[in-house]
Structure 1
Amino acid sequence: MDKLFAKKWFIKLSSIVIAVMLFLMVNLDNANNQPGGIPGITEGSRTMEDVPLNIYYDEEAYVLTDAPETVQVTLRGPETALTRSQILQGQQELYIDLEDREAGVHYERVQFRGYPNDVRVSVVPMSVRIEIQERQTSSFPVEVEIVNEGEIEEGYVVGTPTVEPSTVDVTAASGVLEQVASARVTVDLAERSQAFTDSVAVELYDSNGRLLEVNASPPAVEVTVPITSPNKEVPVRVGRNGALPEGLAIDSLTVVPEMVTIFGPVDIINGITFIDVPSIDLDDIEGDTQIEVDVPVPEGVERVEPEQVTVDIETTTEEERVFSDFEIELEGQAPDQLIFFDSPLNGELDLVINGSPDILERLERSNLRAYINVEGLEPGEYNLPIQFSGPQNIRFAQMGQTVEIIVSDEENEQALAPSVETNDATNPEDELEDEEETDAGEEDEAPSEEGNEDQTSANNTVTNDS
């Protein structure tokens, strides 16, 4: 016996026998409950709810319209087989095969595969009702439904939305397609103040406005909604720097377009009456010229259209025209302020205007002004520059010329009167000579005055922008 225990194989065999005996002892009760069964091998069952049911059919020709999505499955068999079935669950399937069937209603028995051979499979229900219909495709125009349009700011205008693509395809059973009445997208304008483009899901509705569980192709479309800010047109003004070369005059200066459109809040654009573009440097002009200039965007304005304008300048040879005995006006004179001209004594000058022949021909006295500013001057003598104003595209030859005046009030009028009278007095001999010269001048200048009268009577078409 001692020799047997010394053998390794005997020890291993003894260990196996003891292990089997212990196993049989533990499972003795289960064995007694299964007459004729082999000890250690037990039967069991497992029930699974909501097991997916796959339906196979010709998806290119038909649409599945009615079928259960899940069934109940009960598995029975040895515990080892049930355990193995659970491990292989990903390879198991419950299905209905309608690949060779036509459109209509079919009652089919549920089939299964992938389960161990020693497992019994029970399906509830065993047979199911399935309906397939012919697949059809129809196109529907996409309608845009706008909500919260009343919440956009005052003065903003919502334009007509555009959709890309403008139609969608719906593929479904013929019976389902008959229910589709419209394809819609919904756009919310809350807190919107400018044009925008969004990708919006397409929804399908029946004639009663109920949402249908049907998909469109494509499922979403690009919707562009134009929103126009409050706007108005204002004129464009062009300033000038420097002067044209000697002998050259501007015949016309036009801005194309003359008006631009400004967009922005109502309270901002209502306060804007014109837009000044960058001034043109006349020193660089040598002839007819076209200049592109950017239109600035005033503060608070969203945008200006167009963003650029063209300044078209046409030039010609400069000529001269004289308006004789042109009165120098007093600007800013107070009611109690007395003004006496010392030089020139009569407060008049021969006003010399340079410009193009066409502009000079249309020019009238009423278009021109020569004045000095006497506002707030205390009594005394002053040498003041003459200021000129008139239509654009002309040049005042006497620009920079000055006049001498005496300012007085009612208290100082008597003190200044003698000097003024002395200045205005004339010598009798000089007076006789003046009368002779005047008579001669009237005879010599008669034709000239007639010519000037023709020029000054021409209609004025030049706008005074000063």
Structure 2
Amino acid sequence: MDKLMDNPWFIKILALLLAVLLYSSVPHKGNDVNVPGEQATETIEDMPVKVYYDTENLVVSGIPNTVDVTLKGPITHVQSAKALRNFEVFVDLTDAKIGKQKVNLKVKDLSDKLKVTLKPASVNVTIQEKITKEFKVDAEINRSQIEEGYTAEQPIVEPKKVKITGAKDVIDRISYVKATIEEKGKLKDTITKEARIQVLDKELNKLDVVVEPGTVKVTIPIKSNTKTVPINVVKKGIAPPGVTIESIELDEKEATIIGNEDVLKNTENVRVEVDISKISENTTLTLPVIISNGITKVTPETVKATVVVKKQEEKTVSGVPLKIRGLPETYKAEINDPTSHTINLVVNGSSESVSGVRPEDFTVFIDLSGLTEGSHNVKIQVEGPTDVNWKPDKATAKITITNNA
């Protein structure tokens, strides 16, 4: 029985019998049975259209996938054809030439007792030479999907080229052969995905072609844009009176930064800022690492800065002689003020530096270069040790210059 059910002719005959029985069971006006020679008209919608042509070398366009078939004739034949659909609508282009032409649709394997009407009955077709060309595949990825601080390098496509088959004029219109990867979420690791090929013209319209293979494997190498740079200490403000900042040491000397490749090239360091105006004794501060525009991340974000201070001492060094420089031999100068011809210096610095200074460690002078006869107020200048600060008790000296002649 199973073999009988698999036989297509058995199925068709069974369908015909069922159709006849079904029709016979429906009441008819003035009659309960079929009348020999009774006519009927039925329309079969979406009947497939088959095309016969040289599929190896040609491409045909313009043939509809389906047509509507209207059958007219003896009712049993109409019902049988409609139920079984055991006929074929076709277009024969086996002898057609390349170019555009109008062709009629035909029907075969249909009872000659039936009259058939096709909609449409004829179509305009284009027959073209089928060609196959090889094209390079360009991989694409949405750059906005790359995590900030990372860069997608040149994609790797395998295979690099695909064969595309289609009508010659369609192949000639190919401008782009793309494999596009669409991923959800941000990417920061190298990925490999299967991507379907899209064949487009210059207006980005999809073209009707056959691609072999239809998919390619695309690898997008993704790398982190990082750089290790030193952390610089920047002092802000002025230390309180009597305080010297001896050292500032960080627990981390370097930081790793992430950002755009061009920004990284131009970034040589990051920094922490220490406000020394608020420091009067040894202390440890937790400070943020400051980055420039374009840097998206820094590690570590904070560092500890250990500040060592030295309290300053103050001492007055008295009686430092005031000397004269730059006076030509033809002139002589008299210091009118200070009358003692000496200066007192207020010296401050670390206790060990201040304790050892003496008057002879300093040179106090006025420079009379370029001055002529007469009275002048001249700035008092001091030279002394580099590890202390000083201030003279007078800023200027009054002098009188006369000619020796």
TM-score normalised over the length of structure 1: 0.40
Higher percent of residues as strand: 2
Higher percent of residues as helix: 1
TM-score normalised over the length of structure 2: 0.46
